[in-house]
Amino acid sequence: MALLAVNDLTVIYPARAGAVPAVRGVDLTLEPGETLGLAGGSGCGKSTMAAAVLRLLPPGTRTSGTVLLEGEDVLTMRPGRLRAVRWTEAAVVFQGAMHALNPVRRVGDQIAEAIHLHDKVSDKRAATRVGELLEQVGLPARRASSYPHELSGGQRQRVMIAMALACSPRLLIADEPTTALDVMVQAQVLTLLEELRRELGLALLLITHDLSVLASTCERIAVMYAGRIVEEGPAAKVFEAPAHPYTRALAEAFPTIGDRASRRNPHGLGGDPPDPRDLPSGCPFHPRCPVSIAVCPTLEVELWPAGDGRRAACVHVRDGHPELVRQVPPHPVGEDAPAHPGPEGSGEPRGGAPVRRGMS
Amino acid sequence: MAATSTRTFRPSAGQRRLGAKLIGAALSLAFVLVFNFFLFRVLPGDPAKNLTRNRLVPAEQVEVLRESFGLGKPLPQQFAQYVRDTLSGDLGISYKFRRPVSEVIAERIWPTVLLLGLSTLLSTAIGLWIGIRGAWRRNSVFDRVSLGASLALYAMPEFWLGIMLLIAFGVGVGPLPGLFPTGGLSSPDTELASLAGVADVARHLFLPCLTLTLAYIAEYALVMRSSLLDELTEDYLTTARAKGLRDALVLRRHAVPNALLPTTTLIFLNLGFIVSGAITIETVYSWPGLGLLSYEALRTPDYPLLQGVFLLFSAAVIIANLIADLLYAYLDPRVRTG
């Protein structure tokens, strides 16, 4: 049985200006001990996925589909059962460097709170456990008596990881665990997560916008865009040979260290993420897509097999030409190339002329 | 001995902070002391003349009166005398009561402490409760009603509210009799030390206390509500919920203590304004406390008494501020180290 099985999950947030569908029919599975990376830009629904696993959604949110955690549907659990499941079966490593810790309580107390909530242990036992947890994440046990503001960003993130481990969950969800940390600390935190995962046999759902982080940490990657998974497959394949133009843009948005050309000429993606209330028709990525063709604005995309155990939601994959996604150079971000070459939503392909010729 | 003499006292950050606050408070008090003296000297009116108004008093006798109050001396000499006396606890002789000011104040301080203490406690407890409930159940019927009522109460001048309550519940409207006494601390013929006496004081206390409580509930409810609403969007509350805490505990253990920080400061700063509120409310209800006493002293004008009461009020405000500062540092570890 899969540790986590998300089936056709839809999450719709309430809002005055109209309901916001943040996640629109996502399927995911995660086996015990497995690592899955979930990537995507701001507003693609990846953090909503993290919140949905423990049903940490704001009141009034509508959901459909199922989120099976060890076979039990989290979305329909009774509140008492839900609270018992939270942190014991799955725990979340929030972006601890910023505001995920209570600023006026000692970090040791905040970790002990989780222990006391789920285990009947004495204060002394809990304190010992807090010390062990802190040492496990590479902090001295005496740090338990510190307040969050007395710690550095990296130390706070370590505290957050120690807190997530407090009740020995089998699944760890790390939601942007390295955002707002400097690169050196990022690497340390990722190494720590990877070590802990291996030692404790945890399954890890790692959520970030940084595809290169996922490529080095995860076995599999799923890329989200506008509330849906647009590509999914083995990490190395997805990162090195994207089968979806959005994955490609995401992979190329980070300059390769040491590669002068990529640093001088970083590749970006024109346009803004779409408004989830008013998504473009057909493939929602088509207005920003460098390789879109005439059929894209009306095509209902789904995940098609793209070879090497991969699936991608792109017409070129359906047509059996995933290499077309990689052939056309995406637009460099710079003065010569305006970020908005055509009217938004016009579907005007950028640099896509050869493709169009080729396809029609 | 030599070893100890070379070891100098090195205060910690907390001690330095405390020291700085104490010195600041002492300087404020000294300033009030000086300011008080000159403030009342520029008020119009000659006390000796006012005291003998409408009476046929020979001019020499007025002069004797003025001399006995120490008003004949030049201003600098009066000031030096005033500072010396105040520091030794002598606040002078009241012109109106012809008794030491400290004695008069000591008699009138307890009714004010009772009134302000009780109404502060009530308005804080009720106001915070309303604010917390309103924020937690935002846009519920309770929230909408309490928000509307709070805004209305907040906008009302307290003396006006006092007069309205006095008319409605003290005097009686139309066929309705007055339910509560219209003024004073107790009825003239009751023994204060008996159970009936306590009940009688409670009946007299009801309306002034209600007025002051209503006037301040609104502000505390509004500030607590907005402070908690701010806090409720914070990420660490999601962490607390994710750990498996029930909502009531998330609120009580995490959100409320943080939201209380700005509210605590406000409550203590407000003690100063409550003192001025006491002047109007005590006058409306003839409550024989320091507020009514300052009103009486102002009408004479009774300089030594005014000086004494103002010094006490100022000291109360300065001490309340000092407590707010120290309490904030105790409640918020970020202030302690900062």
The residue behind tokens 């030794």 is B88
Asked if A45 and A35 touch (Cβ cutoff 8 Å), the reply is no
The reply to whether A208 and A111 lie within a common domain is: yes
Low-confidence winner among A148-152, B153-157, B182-186 (lowest mean pLDDT): B182-186
Q: What pLDDT score was predicted for residue A229? A: 93
Chain A residues with beta carbon closer than 8 angstroms to that of B258: 102-104
Pairing of strands A35-39, A62-69: unpaired
Domain boundary among A218, A233, A258: A218
In this complex, the residue of B235, B245, B334 whose CB is nearest that of residue A117 is B245
Chain A residues with beta carbon closer than 8 angstroms to that of B245: 83, 113, 117
B197 CA to chain A: closest CA distance, Å? 47
pLDDT band at residue A9 using 50, 70 and 90 as cut-offs: very high
| Token pair in block for residue A287 | 């207005």
The reply to whether A206 and A307 lie within a common domain is: no
The reply to whether A115 and A264 lie within a common domain is: no
Asked if A88 and A167 touch (Cβ cutoff 8 Å), the reply is yes
The reply to whether A131 and A37 lie within a common domain is: yes
CB interface of A with B, residues 112-141, below 8 Å = 113-114, 117-118
Mean pLDDT of B79-99: 84
B254 CA to chain A: closest CA distance, Å? 7
Give the chain B residue whose CA is nearest to the CA of A173: B242
Mean pLDDT of B117-139: 93
Q: What pLDDT score was predicted for residue A187? A: 87
Q: Is B143 helix (H, G, I), strand (E, B) or coil?
A: helix
The reply to whether A211 and A295 lie within a common domain is: no
Low-confidence winner among A331-335, B47-51, B161-165 (lowest mean pLDDT): A331-335
Domains, chain B, ordered by start? 103-337 (1.10.3720.10)
Mean pLDDT of B135-158: 91
| Inside any domain, residue A120 | yes
Please report, for the domain that includes residue A150, its CATH number. 3.40.50.300
The reply to whether A334 and A196 lie within a common domain is: no
| Token pair in block for residue B75 | 């201003």
More confident residue, A96 or B193: B193
The reply to whether A51 and A157 lie within a common domain is: yes
The reply to whether A255 and A207 lie within a common domain is: no
Residue count of chain B:
338
| Inside any domain, residue A223 | no
Does the predicted interface ipTM exceed a cut of 0.90?
Answer: no
Chain B residues with beta carbon closer than 8 angstroms to that of A115: none
Chain A residues with beta carbon closer than 8 angstroms to that of B253: 113
CA distance B53 to B130: 53
Position B120, amino acid = T
Q: What pLDDT score was predicted for residue B78? A: 81
Q: What is the pLDDT of residues B218-245, one digit of tens each?
A: 989 999 999 999 999 888 999 999 999 9
Q: What is the pLDDT of residues A33-66, one digit of tens each?
A: 999 999 988 888 888 998 999 999 988 899 999 9
Mean pLDDT of A206-214: 85
B253 CA to chain A: closest CA distance, Å? 10
User: ∠ CA(B303), CA(B309), CA(B310), 5° rounding?
Assistant: 85
| Inside any domain, residue A89 | yes
Low-confidence winner among A121-130, A173-182, B134-143 (lowest mean pLDDT): A173-182
Q: Is B254 on the interface with A (CB under 8 A)?
A: yes
More confident residue, B27 or B91: B27
Asked if A330 and A250 touch (Cβ cutoff 8 Å), the reply is no
The reply to whether A26 and A168 lie within a common domain is: yes
Residue count of chain A:
360
| Inside any domain, residue A225 | no
Low-confidence winner among A3-7, A242-246, B191-195 (lowest mean pLDDT): B191-195
| Token pair in block for residue A30 | 């995660």
pLDDT of A191 over the 60 cut = yes
Q: pLDDT above 70 covers what percent of chain A?
A: 86
CA distance A236 to A142: 40
DSSP at A58: P
Mean pLDDT of B140-150: 93
CB interface of B with A, residues 226-245, below 8 Å = 234-236, 238-245
CB contact under 8 A, B246 and A83: yes
| Inside any domain, residue A235 | no
The residues facing A173 across adjacent strands are A92, A205
Q: Is A180 on the interface with B (CB under 8 A)?
A: no
CB contact under 8 A, B334 and A104: yes
Chain A residues with beta carbon closer than 8 angstroms to that of B240: 102, 113
Work out the angle between the directed axes of helices B158-165 and B195-232 (0-180°, nearest 10): 140
pLDDT of A354 over the 50 cut = no
CB contact under 8 A, A101 and B236: yes
Sheet holding A20-30, edge to edge: A20-30, A4-13, A62-69, A72-73
Q: Mark residue A55 as left, alpha or beta (left: phi above 0; alpha: psi -120 to 50; beta: remaining).
A: left
More confident residue, A167 or A257: A167
Q: What pLDDT score was predicted for residue B144? A: 94
The reply to whether A191 and A305 lie within a common domain is: no
| Inside any domain, residue A226 | no
Q: What pLDDT score was predicted for residue A260? A: 60
Q: What pLDDT score was predicted for residue A138? A: 92
Alpha helices in chain A (DSSP H): 46-53, 79-85, 107-118, 123-136, 153-165, 183-200, 211-217, 235-240, 245-252, 260-264, 315-318, 323-327, 353-359
CB contact under 8 A, A102 and B245: no
Give the chain A residue whose CA is nearest to the CA of B334: A149
Low-confidence winner among A99-103, A142-146, A271-275 (lowest mean pLDDT): A271-275
Q: What pLDDT score was predicted for residue B7? A: 61
Mean pLDDT of B249-263: 90
pLDDT of B95 over the 50 cut = yes
| Inside any domain, residue A227 | no
By the 10 Å C-beta count (0-12 exposed, 13-18 middle, 19+ buried), B8 is classed as: exposed
Q: How many domains does chain A have?
A: 2
Q: What pLDDT score was predicted for residue A328? A: 57
CA distance B309 to B142: 42
Chain B residues with beta carbon closer than 8 angstroms to that of A98: 235
User: ∠ CA(A38), CA(A42), CA(A46), 5° rounding?
Assistant: 30
Domain residues for the domain of A158 are: 4-218
CB contact under 8 A, A101 and B241: no
Q: Is B154 helix (H, G, I), strand (E, B) or coil?
A: helix
| Inside any domain, residue A189 | yes
Q: pLDDT above 70 covers what percent of chain B?
A: 90
Mean pLDDT of A71-85: 93
pLDDT averaged over every residue in chain B:
83
Chain B residues with beta carbon closer than 8 angstroms to that of A150: 337
Low-confidence winner among A138-142, A330-334, B329-333 (lowest mean pLDDT): A330-334
Q: What is the pLDDT of residues A336-347, one digit of tens each?
A: 444 444 343 333
pLDDT of A284 over the 80 cut = yes
DSSP at A145: G
Q: What pLDDT score was predicted for residue A356? A: 36
The reply to whether A214 and A249 lie within a common domain is: no
Pairing of strands A4-13, A62-69: antiparallel
CB contact under 8 A, A94 and B238: yes
The reply to whether A264 and A207 lie within a common domain is: no
pLDDT band at residue A106 using 50, 70 and 90 as cut-offs: very high
Which helix (H) or strand (E) is B215 found in, with range?
helix B195-232
Q: Is A94 on the interface with B (CB under 8 A)?
A: yes
CB contact under 8 A, B242 and A56: yes
| Token pair in block for residue B228 | 């908690």
Mean pLDDT of B292-297: 90
Peptide bond into B301 cis (omega under 30): yes
Q: Is B203 on the interface with A (CB under 8 A)?
A: no
pLDDT of A308 over the 70 cut = yes
